[in-house]
Structure 1
């Protein structure tokens, strides 16, 4: 859960020749300003010089709206007041986790096609752990490479918008920046170059999948040791105490120590003599992880000259900011710490957008912001409010299932392990006992439905079937890939989480608090203004950006063009 590698992916992308979109019809939407919709988004306007695609890891849409009155005028409000935002944007898949979400965004395809079913899973044939962006053939440049380290997009079985764009013109560039390797490598696709934050050294590094050595601008960035500037810096509340009355105070027993304590103000590097591996790792669960990532994004813009070419060439900058996810995991989205972190992020975005206005030109780029998943309230907090919420212990689940299967089918360890949202089984034991696999799966479902906290269980037959009426089955089907996913998938009850420790929160369910995320957009020549209430999905972003860039949609895309209100004035900005 707390994978301490900030990733930054540098994708060389391509310019704007190419064909129209995949031909999927646009949805009909209702906009606050009743502006006409672009049937083929952006096709009647020359492409921008730069697409800025932003992800806030672990940001539920409810947090954007809950704190709207406290936002700066040009951070998130740039989208809400002067762009188009989608009030009912969701993920369509059920196992809502970081890697799966990041794989959807710019491919437009669900895990059932990308094969990125989770952050990690077990190989169904060997039982070995698999990390979503692992590739043993490649290592980090100038830094230690741990087992299962994220070094390439090899496991991603789909192309991205950047891949399509680069196929048109390899000279165009796509930069993807993230607080996690998976948060950059997956949106970047197969034809880019990745840089990752090394939590032991405070550097950004690439892997040998992308290049043999770093360019000079990366060397210069690392030589300046920007991470060290946060040593001894205080994360203090931005607003007076009364402004946080809507949030849960610090220091609750369920708010775990993320490395910087669980109360504000928090001093980074407190009790450390000097910057070192623990300090560098602890930058992530603080606002300064995002500040550092945006600093590297600026360095990439400068070093690679993003958005600086003639109009016939477009670049893509993808920035996935990871710190909010770490904060929400440790303290819960209901906490003051999460509330304050969001306000810090808002200020960082304001500064970043103003930098882009000056460097690239306000009329030369499109910005889109989303999230990879939402977040559940911390179960202990929810229970204190009288809600049905708790945790399901995975070890106890396996023990219960195996005890029941032994009674039914005889001795043996029938269920071997959890894998993503499902359970794997000993296929050799099943064959040796002469038992039908389907019977084992059905009995497992019967057993699991007896457990407190389990809402439903879907078997292989259901996942391979065509039933679209059973609640959450279609969502879990979209999370299920036949080559890598387990044959039995579990959905916990609303408010419940898988986990054994007391404290912290998580995500990973098909419920609204996990699927409802922001899709916010801005770009005066390409995006109108207003709130769109029509239901849309994150998978719709890729076809939309492809249309704006005048290229085809990624081959595996399942989304449709977003119903963007048409700009009031046609593009006249240079």
Structure 2
């Protein structure tokens, strides 16, 4: 079901004439050029497309004719950076509307460890409250929470400055809605098998409830495969996977009730956009005296990238559908007559599966060796040193590693030396960096495309939450040892294919230009704050304001 169909269903459920205008419209006035004297927009729409890399944007840019084409006609920064080293979903979303690197947001990874946590499960999910009894960090077993976010979001600052401001956050994933929405959002929700959900014990508004009902009905229906456009035929090549079957020629068909496949399709993005359209209308966002904020987290690109890779027919279908869905969404916003501003970026980039990379001109691409399994490395090191097991805790073959709290200082020193040496000796490991090395290093103020490996890791390092040492894999090493239908590719590395994302800004009357130099997602908050006249203490953010006015005037006022 597309945005158009879902929005029609929501309009019927909510007893409104249509999901378009809620303001009476006369003849469209001439478009006025945006200048430094132009009043702030009434509505800011922040869109994060999960795993929408700069590579994907460049690859499909000439094919866009809808919403992404509109944004590409505005102010375009094709070399935006999630500058930090841990390029995962939660850290990436935490930078977009806080203006801060993960070192300051505290969101250093999707999962990290607190070995002093009271519960038995010492691994913490980035967007959970681990103090809730009976919970764990496992999917579906945690209590969603914003507690781990250490800094305010744009919405939090807007509401503190002017309580009349409304903030609504809707996303495919909880961590996207939470990390961008912050603590003060009026409504915050994400997709679930039941349609839409929010924090435990937090009731959805009537509009969100009815939107969720319409989305649940869509999930329950089966969907035939999509027709492959001519633009996508070049991508229609089957790639075998280790556990049987192939990927690369899919049409995104699914059975009724299959929520996972619903999420890995344009339907999921359409559902978020439809819910946002209904909520905007119900709350009359953009129609009041204060500027409002509508936050959208679109997750389908990420599910498809993980499940079947970034270069098959499936991703081509998704890119063209995303363009159409956004176009429909903007058309409905246009019909209201509201002066709105759009910013779009991504939480991280992504890397295609190595099997297809090897067919497409990169023979060195490979999967991580099973010899980098943390449990095996820890066991061997502990047996050699005569130390208790587990020697350390890790969430995978790379990233933050946490030494056991049971070790004495002397044992910790010996264990660290042994583990660092073992990892550094592995042919797939680029580097191993200790917390001590990062703690004394300042966060770089240089352009993100010039950052060293240590600069990237430092921007992800938080003394309260980071590991005792960090393992970095070589480029083009996919940290999944074996492919299978549903999980063939991933992200999270320090390499630019995971760090680079587009940053696009559009407003009616804003003269478009393209700036190819490196900027960062932490620049988005100060840029939007300046546009809406929100006072900002620049000493509390890592980003800078980007001037969106072409010519001698500046939007950074």
- Taking structure 2 as the reference length, the TM-score comes to 0.83
Residues 4-38 of structure 1: per-residue CA shift (max 9 Å, x gap)? xxxxxxxxxxxxxxxxxxxxxxxxxxxxxxxxxxx
The structural deviation recorded for 1:293 is 1.0
* 1:58 has 2:51 as partner: yes
Task: Show the counterpart of 2:416.
Answer: 441
Task: Show the counterpart of 2:126.
Answer: 132
Task: Show the counterpart of 1:520.
Answer: 504
Moved more, 510-519 or 392-401: 392-401
Moved more, 474-483 or 394-403: 394-403
Larger RCO (CA within 8 A; separation ≥ 6): 1
Distance 1:355 1:232, change over 3 A: same
Distance 1:267 1:153, change over 3 A: same
* 1:99 has 2:90 as partner: yes
The structural deviation recorded for 1:282 is 2.5
Of 457, 469, 476 in structure 2, the residue corresponding to residue 476 of structure 1 is 457
The structural deviation recorded for 1:302 is 1.2
Of 162, 169, 178 in structure 2, the residue corresponding to residue 176 of structure 1 is 169
The structural deviation recorded for 1:559 is 0.3
The structural deviation recorded for 1:570 is 11
Of 549, 553, 559 in structure 1, the residue corresponding to residue 536 of structure 2 is 553
* 1:461 has 2:436 as partner: yes
Distance 1:317 1:160, change over 3 A: same
Task: Show the counterpart of 1:189.
Answer: 182
* 1:249 has 2:241 as partner: no
1:170 & 1:539 partners in 2: Cα distance? 24
Task: Show the counterpart of 2:401.
Answer: 423
Of 332, 335, 342 in structure 2, the residue corresponding to residue 355 of structure 1 is 332
Q: Does structure 2 retain, via aligned residues, the 8 Å contact 1:108–1:557?
A: yes
Residues 56-113 of structure 1: per-residue CA shift (max 9 Å, x gap)? 10111111111122211x32111222x0100221111001000000000000111111
* 1:566 has 2:537 as partner: no
SS at match of 1:93: coil
* 1:410 has 2:386 as partner: yes
5+ unaligned residues in a row in structure 1: which ranges?
A: 1-40, 140-144, 270-274
| 1:231-250 map, 5 Å | 231-240=221-230, 243-247=231-235, 249-250=237-238
5+ unaligned residues in a row in structure 2: which ranges?
A: 1-33, 134-138, 445-449
* 1:87 has 2:78 as partner: yes
Task: Show the counterpart of 1:77.
Answer: 69
1:178 & 1:333 partners in 2: Cα distance? 21
The structural deviation recorded for 1:248 is 5.6
Of 303, 317, 325 in structure 1, the residue corresponding to residue 302 of structure 2 is 325
Larger % of helix: which?
A: 2
* 1:290 has 2:269 as partner: yes
The structural deviation recorded for 1:480 is 1.5
1:196 & 1:80 partners in 2: Cα distance? 28
Distance 1:56 1:198, change over 3 A: closer
- The Cα RMSD (Å) is 2.9
* 1:507 has 2:491 as partner: yes
Task: Show the counterpart of 2:149.
Answer: 156
* 1:494 has 2:448 as partner: no
Q: Does structure 2 retain, via aligned residues, the 8 Å contact 1:58–1:374?
A: yes
Task: Show the counterpart of 1:299.
Answer: 278
1:394 & 1:515 partners in 2: Cα distance? 27
2:221 & 2:305 partners in 1: Cα distance? 22
Residues 270-323 of structure 1: per-residue CA shift (max 9 Å, x gap)? xxxxx44xx2332101111111111111111111111112xx411011101001
Distance 1:158 1:284, change over 3 A: same
